[in-house]
Amino acid sequence: MVSAIFIIAVGLGTAFLLGLVKSDQKGFAFTLTVAALAVMTWIAYDWTVALSRGTVEPATILTAGTQPPFAINLHIGLAEAWLLTVINATGLLAAFYMRAALCRLGKGAMSVLLVMVMALSGLVLTRDVFNLFVFFELIVIATGGLVLLSEDARAVAAGFKYLVVSQIVSILLLIGIIFTYHANGSLNIDDIAAVPFGLQGASLAMFLVLMALVLELKPFPANGWALDIYESAHPGFSAIFSAASGTAALFAADKLVAAAGPAWLPLMTVIGLFTFLGSNVLALKQDNDRRLLGYSSVAQIGLVFAIVGQRDILGEGYLFVAGGVLITHAVAKAGLYWISGLVPGRGLADWAILRANPVLVFAFASFVAMLVGLPPFPGFYAKWDLMHALAGSGRFWIMALILAGALVEAGYMFRFFGYAIKRETQERFPGFAVDKVAVVVAALAAGWALGFVWGGISLNPNLLTLVPVLFALLFIVLEPLPAWVKNIIAIVGLVGWFWFRMGNYDPLQMIFAAVMLVGGAVILIASFYEHGRRIGFYVPTMLMYAGLALLIEAQTSFDFFAAWEVLTIGSYFLILRGRMGEPHALSYILFSLGGAFLILAGFALASTGVQPFELKSGLSAIAEASVPAAPWVFALLAVGFMTKTASIGLHIWLPGAHAEAETDVSPMVSGILLKAGLYGLFLLVMTMGRQKIGSIDLTEVLVWIGAISALLGGVMAIFQEDAKRLLAYSSISQLGYAVFGLALMNHVGWLLALMFVINHYIYKSMLFLAVGGVYKRTGTKLMYKMGGLITLMPFTFVSVLIGIIAMSGVPPLSGFGGRWLFYNAIMASDLRLPMVLIFISGPIGFLYLFRLIHTIFFGQLKDEHRKLKEAPVWLVIPQMMFVLALLAFAVLPGMALQKVDAYIGTFFGDQPLVWSGRAITSTYGYWSPVAVMVVIGVIFVAVLLLLMSMGLNAQKVKQFNIVFSAERPFKPQTTHFAWNFFAPYRKAVGFLVMPLVTTFWGAVTDTLHSTADFTRRLYTGNGQTYAVQVLVFVVAVYLIVLGGAQ
């Protein structure tokens, strides 16, 4: 092992050595610099590996051959090693990245860079508080130098502001240090730790030291100077400033906090959280990419600092959690800054230029995911453990605040990403510098590697070793292949996995697995109509399916949550692909993440921090023990799941998301994705049953929510002009039925829900494909622009016809089975009023369904459509399969339901349905699908024959050959009654569709934005004001502490 002090020695030595190089030998100087950085990185990396393998012990490095505290000593342990690696690697990559700038300024700049990295390493290594100060000043001065690398003239001002602030900081630090020394006769941090400071007495000295270090962490709102640097500095340096400096400063603060003793932790927590929330909210209003990233950096450091405040409860998990967040942030933020260096424009939308290079888009996506803490990156595992620790020790406020802040951050980061994917850019494409792209790619690789490592360390399964996830990621490699090949692989994969796992499913899982995996495969058949390579479609798709596959089989709460996140990510990118998908994808991801956070909180609460938490047994255990938290767990989880089922109030993302999605994506996200939420609810009610908050039975609340969703979803669907939106709203209604049935908490009710799972999948997928096909041909989704397509698109017409008959519940098709079960279910329940809503919403289905089929296929054919052909065959094939499935399911519902009926029976210990032959008998009534089908069939044929017997000479007449108020119309437009089809209905019940919910959520976001816009004017840009703010911050905290101490 090479002693870690060589990192310092090499850095410094080379910095001095550069002076001997002739100033015109810039290439040589640069090589020297890079070589030095490489050596330093290698040393750090070597230590990291050795320490994690346990082949070496953490080492203390003496100087001057004297024992501490009498001489300065350094220490390298696992944490130090990791951070050193991050810092030096960042420095190395940054050097590559800034090559041009460095060479422009010459060897001086290079030695400054070297000293910078050296000082950062020293900051991490040293155990002496005054030595800490020295390294701090080195960093300050080096920063002051490197800011000059920027071409941006404003950088000079930023640097000066920074120097002003750091002057104040060093004054505080020195006074603090000297009095600390006086107080316990030593400058050695470990000695200080030996004599923990309370909040009284000599604490003032410690307070000053801590405040100085905290100020280096850019606490909100005393951080305007940092933001200015982020905005104006060379992106290569901003990467260092965010990734390396932030990391080192945080570790320094951590050392001192640890030394100061537990009494200080709450204060740190408050400061951290305040920073995290404040900066994230302010970031909402940023339109300059680098400043936005700056705000995000500040916020993230704040988050880690808040975690530092939790070290007392994190135990040995501390390094895993804090390190996870810290290092992920370092990598991601460095990567993002490096990308920003490739983008010529500074507006957020200018990043759209990245689309020229898929790799960069992928990198951008990965970095965003890292920042937001999505799987499979370390932040995800860290977030999970952190929340469990917090829940375990009852720090619910901290949980709530952290999650809220994370949601806000996700908000602007994903909006940013949406711009990059969707917006047009004015910038002319410059062509990306290969070496810079290479640097970004290096960061990308590092990020994924870290994900793998963290997954390995965590006591939960490593997501990057799960077959479905790997299968989905495989498509990254397969991207160059043509779409049809990838499609085949995908279909085979889905069916194969289902086949392979079929043995392990219980009947319930079986239903969901069949719908999600096999069903997914069927929908994928439609994807064959797409030509070319279809970059960026299969990875998210398969990620979604991977998530679903894992969700069904989740054993522990972690498995479930991870799967949930994975499928959320996949579906987000899928929805984002839609033509006008940007805003809807954003609201989707926000609602989904919000829901996911609630679920996370719920699980953490349920497990009281104990991992792994067996999902089913665990939940039922706390339900039986009726622990006070149980109902809250139920509520959190339920709301979380209902973000996916798009129950009313959480539904506003759905219509746009489904309507704007691509033809073959709509059925996926509608027919399949929504079922994930239902599956969650199923697990919930199965394990926890009825939970009461006070006297309110939560399942009854669910009943109401389901009923209201069913009603309002339907009413809103009636008034849509856009066919796909109509279907989308009807999904809300249909899922409402399912939730309703589930929440009835009786056998038939659950069966009803399952029936809807199957039915809704089939006919909604069918209808979306059909409408999609029409859209492909007519080029519009507005129904009143269509009409009379029945003869041109007969197959599509048939599937829509069957679809709406089934959906409206008219016998003999399978929808009726749902209605029949519904009546038996409500008979068994003792609720009354919610049923009324369902009764109202029942017939409403007819309205929008009839409108759908009438305005598209009947009425007057438009002139521009006369030459239309039937929808692409690849779209028709799955539709026909669905038609058959519907008929089969209509005649033999037992096929699918009998097993699961028995299975449900084991929960309620009853068996209300008797399956005798083809007939089904319930407690209250009976239903014989086959008989119904036969009778109707026979009568129909008989009547038809009767009609034909009266002569077959029906004469086909032309389109306008109708008796129309004594004249013959000649324009389809004026004759096709389609727009605002249900005008009278709107007159009567239009008040039901006032967009209250949308208004509400709109108000929420607007408030946040205006707050941000108002607050950020704090940062006047005047260095003096910044200095004042810093002092105000210190004094304010001082007063607070005093108040706390008394």
Partner 1 sequence: MLPQIAMATGFVLILMGLYGALTHRNILRMIVGFTIADTGVNVVLVSVGYLPGRTAPILDSAVPVADAATRIIDPVPQALVLTAIVIGLGVTALMLAYAYRLFRARHSLDISNFTELKW
Partner 2 sequence: MTFQWIQIPYALLTLFIILNYGMLMTALIQKIGARVGGRYGIPIWQNYIDLLKNIALRSKISHGVMFYLGPVFRLTGGIGLILFVPTIYGSVMHQNFSFAGDLILALYFVFFGTLGMALGAAESGHPHSAIGVSRGLSQVTAAELPLALGVFAISLQYQTLNITDIVAAQQGSIFNWTLFTNPLATVAAMFAFVGTMMRAPFDVVLAPQEIPIGPPTEYHSSYLALMQTNRVLYPIAKTVIYMNLFFGGATSWPEFFVKIFAIYMVSVFIGVVYPRFRVEQSIQFFLKWGLPVGVLAILMV
Partner 3 sequence: MTSNFTSRAAVALVLLLLLGTAFWSLTTGYSADAALNRTAEYYAVNTPAETGAQNVVTAIIVTYRGLDTLGEVTVLFLTAAIVALVLGQSKAPRGASGSGFLPSGELLQTGTKMLLPLILMFGAYIFVNGHLTPGGGFQGGAVLASGMLLLLLADPGKRFRKAVIHRVESLSGLFYVLIGLAGMAWAGGFLDNRILPLGQFGQILSAGAIPLIYTLIGLKVGAEFSSILESLEETEDA
Residues that bind partner 1 (CB under 8 A): 130, 134, 137, 140-141, 144-145, 153-154, 156-160, 163-164, 166-168, 170-171, 174-175, 177-179, 181-182, 187, 224, 227-228, 231-232, 285, 1016-1017, 1019-1024, 1027-1028, 1031
| Contact of residue 1020 among partner 2, partner 1, partner 3, none (CB under 5-8 Å per partner type) | partner 1
Provide the b/e sequence for 273-292 (b: ≥16 CB within 10 Å): bbbbbbbbbbbbbbebbbbb
Residue 914 interacts with partner 2 (CB under 8 A): yes or no: no
1007 binds partner 2 (CB under 8 A): no
Q: Are strands 692-693 and 73-76 parallel, antiparallel or unpaired?
A: unpaired
Least distance to partner 2 from the beta carbon of 837, Å?
11
The least distance separating partner 1 from the CB of residue 294, rounded to whole angstroms, comes to 11
Radius of gyration for the alpha carbons in the chain, expressed in angstroms and rounded: 32
Query: What is the sign, positive or negative, of the torsion defined by CA atoms of 606, 608, 611, 614?
Result: negative
Of 516, 514, 573, nearest to 543 (Cα)? 573
Considering only 315, 955, 994, 1043, the residue that binds partner 2 (CB under 8 A) is 955
656 binds partner 3 (CB under 8 A): no
Q: CB burial class (10 A; 0-12, 13-18, 19+) of residue 682?
A: buried
Candidates 959, 973, 1015, 1025; binder of partner 2 (CB under 8 A) is 959
Q: For the packed helices 630-645 and 674-688, what is the interaxial angle rounded to 10 degrees? A: 160
Pick the closer one to partner 2 by CB: 16 or 964. Answer: 964
Q: Is 467 in the site for partner 2 (CB under 8 A)?
A: no
Subset of 491-530 contacting partner 2 (CB under 8 A) = none
Residue 895: Cβ within 10 Å count: 10
Residues in 760-799 at the binding interface with partner 2, rule: CB under 8 A? 788, 790-791
842 binds partner 2 (CB under 8 A): yes
Q: Can you tell me the distance from the alpha carbon of 276 to that of 330, in angstroms, rounded to the nearest whole number?
A: 16
Please tell me whether residue 439 adopts helix, strand or coil conformation: helix
Largest CA distance in the chain: 117
- HSE, CB side, 13 Å, CA atoms: give it for residue 693: 12
Nearest to 136 by CA among 124, 119, 121: 119
Tokens 């779409």 belong to residue: 483
Contact letters for partner 2, residues 815-834 (x by CB under 8 A):
-x--xx--xx-xx----xx-
1010 binding partner 3? (CB under 8 A): no
Q: How far apart (Å, rounded) are the C-alpha atoms in residues 219 and 222?
A: 6
1 near partner 3 (CB under 8 A): no
Cβ atoms 660, 578 nearer than 8 A: yes
Look at residue 119 and give the partner it binds from partner 1, partner 2, partner 3, none, a contact being a CB closer than 5 to 8 Å depending on partner kind: partner 3
Instruction: For partner 1, give the closer residue by CB, 131 or 587.
Output: 131
Question: Is residue 642 close enough to count as binding partner 3 by CB under 8 A?
Answer: no
Residue 69 contact partner, candidates partner 1, partner 3, partner 2, none, CB within 5 to 8 A by sort of partner: partner 3
User: Closest separation between CB of residue 214 and partner 3, Å?
Assistant: 16
Please state the closest distance from residue 588 (CB atom) to partner 3, in A: 47
| Residue 477 contact among partner 2, partner 3, partner 1, none, beta carbon within 5 to 8 Å by kind | none
φ/ψ (deg, to 5) at 26: -65, -40
CB of 286 to partner 1, least distance (A): 8
459 scored as a contact of partner 3 (CB under 8 A): no
614: DSSP letter: B
Residue 185 engages partner 3 in binding (rule: CB under 8 A): yes
Q: Work out what residue 1023 binds among partner 3, partner 2, partner 1, none; the CB cut-off runs from 5 to 8 Å by kind.
A: partner 1
Strand 919-921 versus strand 914-916 pairing type: antiparallel
Please identify which residue in 182, 616, 866, 1009 interacts with partner 3, judged by CB under 8 A.
Answer: 182
Amino acid residing at 845: G
The interface partner of residue 27, options being partner 1, partner 2, partner 3, none and the CB cut-off 5 to 8 Å by kind, is: none
Region 972-1001 residues binding partner 2, contact defined as CB under 8 A: 975-978, 981-985, 987-989
Shortest Å distance, C-beta 878 to partner 2: 24
DSSP-derived 3-state class of residue 302: helix
Tokens 């704007």 -> residue:
660
Q: Binding of partner 3 at residue 157 (CB under 8 A)?
A: no
Residue 929 CB, nearest approach to partner 2 (Å):
9
How far is the C-alpha of 215 from the C-alpha of 223, rounded, in Å?
A: 8
- The encoded tokens of residue 858 equal 């009947």
How many Cβ atoms from other residues are within 10 Å of residue 951's Cβ?
7
Helix/strand/coil for 921: strand
Instruction: Among 884, 943, 1035, 1040, indicate the residue that binds partner 2 (CB under 8 A).
Output: 943
64 binds, among partner 3, partner 1, partner 2, none (CB under 5 to 8 A by kind): partner 3
Which one among 85, 186, 275, 527 touches partner 3, defined by CB under 8 A? 186
CB of 718 to partner 2, least distance (A): 9
Do 717 and 726 touch, CB atoms closer than 8 A?
A: yes
- Return the one option of partner 3, partner 2, partner 1, none that residue 174 interacts with (CB less than 5 to 8 A, by type): partner 1
CA distance 604 to 325: 18
Q: Using N-to-C axis directions, what is the helix angle for 630-645 and 615-624, rounded to 10°?
A: 130
Q: Which is nearer to partner 1, 184 or 608 (CB)?
A: 184
In the bound state with partner 3, the residue whose beta carbon lies nearer, of 131 and 269, is 131
Q: Which of residues 30-89 bind partner 3 (CB under 8 A)?
A: 61-66, 69-72
Per CB under 8 A, 961 contacts partner 2 = yes
Q: Which residue has the tokens 């024959």?
A: 945
